Structure 1
Amino acid sequence: MSQQDRIDLEHYSVTARPVATEDVARLHELAVGVGWPHRPEDLRQIISLAKGYVACDEIGRVGGSALWFPLGEDTACIGMVITPPRMQSRGAGRWLMQRVLRDIGKREIIVNATPQAVRLYEQLGFGKYGLGQQMQGHTKAPDTPPAVPAGLTLRPLSGADLPALQVLDREATGHDRTAVLLCMLEPADAVLLLDKGGAPVGYAFSRPFGRGELLGPVVARNDDEAIALASHFLLRHVGSYMRLDTLVRPGKFTDFVENCGLAISTTITQMRLNPKAAASGTTRSYAMVGQAFG
């Protein structure tokens, strides 16, 4: 074991080891301890896509985590950075993050930070890229149900649509999220928005997560198309608990989501290290796959 694998805190030492599927129960305890809503099945899915570390004390108890998710060959997202206050105050969060940053290397690195974590990422060299919000609540029918814009149609996503889905998503985000999207499709309900010629111009997923359903990603060309995609799921799940994470500025889309019962619960600050050129396609991301993935 190298010196970098261990940190000595005030009265005990902590060792970092690679995260494994066997850590689901331990990570669930951590998440619950800091008030995060993840279910064991959510964490199992996350770990299947993750690299990174858990911090263990001398008798093997997991007391912290920092994971990262490759997005193709040139980008990575960081998520599930959990360090309880007693470890955080002793530098364990920074220590775990330094290990993760060393492994990621020169890729562009994205993190969607909670308000409590922004300072740590700034100290590690990340710059602020965008401000968004986590929206959640029990859904209700909007005052005026929206119609699908003229000339467009909605239909369920099929396996044959995956190449088109990849193109739309890459245009909207600038990243290769193929592995993440394929993983999310299994438990998800997904729809495509088609133009008059039948070509896909947007898509959206909804899947079980946390206290209910997570609506995202939502990719579209404009607010009206994003609202048509989101409303398909918001109306289907009236009375259910839903969550949506977005970096879209307050406006027509977020007003509609609020009108459907999802209130802003906290802010999200997107931060980047080694940033590359922004996406330049005709579509944009209106809702994240999840805060850990962007």
Structure 2
Amino acid sequence: MPTPLAEPSIRPLTLRDLAPCVAITADRGWPPDERKWRLLLTAGTGYGIDDPSGTGLAGVVVLTRYGTPGAGHPGEFCSVGMLLVAARYERQGLGGLLMRHILRAVDGAPLALYATRFGQPLYERLGFTTVAQNLTVTGRLHAPGPPSGPAGGITVRTATADDLPALIRLDETAFGVDRTLMITRLPAFAEQLRIALDGSEVIGYGAAWASAAADVIGPLVARDTDTAKALIASLGAGTRRPLRTDIDTRHEDLLRWLKEQGLDTVLGSPVMVLNTSGLPGDADRRFAPLSMATC
């Protein structure tokens, strides 16, 4: 039995904590994605509670800030993810301790998260409310390539450095906040980064990055469902691995198409917010996050 943590202290995490972060993820049965942790610890701020035995971390959480912090929080939005407590320290209140630390850190700024069924009661006690639902789907596309049906003049190609300003503008429209620090890391982070065009106009983009068991599609931003389908089909054609993505349930047509293409729903997650009535941006264009750790 571990020693109870009577007065645990919380400290910021750095890249030196990468291995313990991966270890606590594996301890809870989540994919041990070292590259994702590296991204989260550089684009966001991790907080952790050290195991007093000196064998890693007893608990972790990551806060990612978007926009420009300021008085009254104009243009700022935050997300919280990767709230994990080592199995040997569960039911000691560490999850609540870490979340209350996050709430003090954001100081009233709007905050969002994807909840697990285990974490949802804690978030509700802290005042979070559910504003949307998400479905995680996974599998292999039956026929990777251009989707059937009307696609208009949509073309999809690999993004280049010259496309980044257009991607950042498109992303801000969809997510409602400047996420430049995250988007500019995508070319180095993702295996694939594709853009969709109607003529010369950029109307969507999608990334696919390697997780432990599948290639994750996200972020996925598109003008409409046909554009989202074209991006997913192109990304699916670029890998031999299974796909996984997290789709807002409001996109019913896309979810039906993904089911027809061979992907199965494996998880449903509520999207919860605090200090705001909902997510910013254009939900019709926001199809999938980078991951459920980033919103």
State the match for 1:199 in structure 2.
201
- On the 8 A contact 2:46/2:62 being kept in 1, the answer is yes
- On the 8 A contact 2:172/2:281 being kept in 1, the answer is no
**Cα RMSD after superposing both structures:** 2.4
2:43 corresponds to 1:49: yes
2:23 corresponds to 1:23: no
- On the 8 A contact 1:202/1:283 being kept in 2, the answer is no
State the match for 1:66 in structure 2.
61
How many residues were matched structurally?
A: 285
Unaligned runs of 5+ in 1: 1-8
| 1:162-207 deviation line (CA, Å, top 9, x unaligned) | 22111111111112221111122213211211123x1111111112
What TM-score, normalized to structure 1?
A: 0.88
> Which of 191, 215, 230 pairs up with 1:213?
215
SS at match of 2:143: coil
> Which of 166, 171, 193 pairs up with 1:190?
193
Rounded to whole Å, the distance in 2 between the matches of 1:176 and 1:276 is 19
> Which of 162, 177, 185 pairs up with 2:164?
162
- On the 8 A contact 1:146/1:227 being kept in 2, the answer is no
SS at match of 2:119: helix
Unaligned runs of 5+ in 2: 69-75
One-letter amino acid of the structure 2 residue matched with residue 256 of structure 1: W
Structure 2 matches for 1:1-294, cutoff 5 A? 10=4, 13-60=7-54, 61-73=56-68, 74-141=76-143, 145-146=147-148, 149-188=151-190, 189-196=192-199, 198-237=200-239, 239-249=240-250, 251-275=252-276, 278-279=279-280, 281=282, 284-294=285-295
SS at match of 2:249: coil
CA apart distance, 1:58: 2.2
CA apart distance, 1:151: 2.1
Rounded to whole Å, the distance in 1 between the matches of 2:78 and 2:142 is 36
One-letter amino acid of the structure 2 residue matched with residue 287 of structure 1: A
What TM-score, normalized to structure 2?
A: 0.88
- On the 8 A contact 2:39/2:189 being kept in 1, the answer is no
Rounded to whole Å, the distance in 2 between the matches of 1:192 and 1:11 is 49
Which shows bigger deviation, 85-94 or 116-125? Answer: 85-94
Rounded to whole Å, the distance in 1 between the matches of 2:100 and 2:134 is 26
Rounded to whole Å, the distance in 2 between the matches of 1:95 and 1:58 is 16
One-letter amino acid of the structure 2 residue matched with residue 195 of structure 1: D
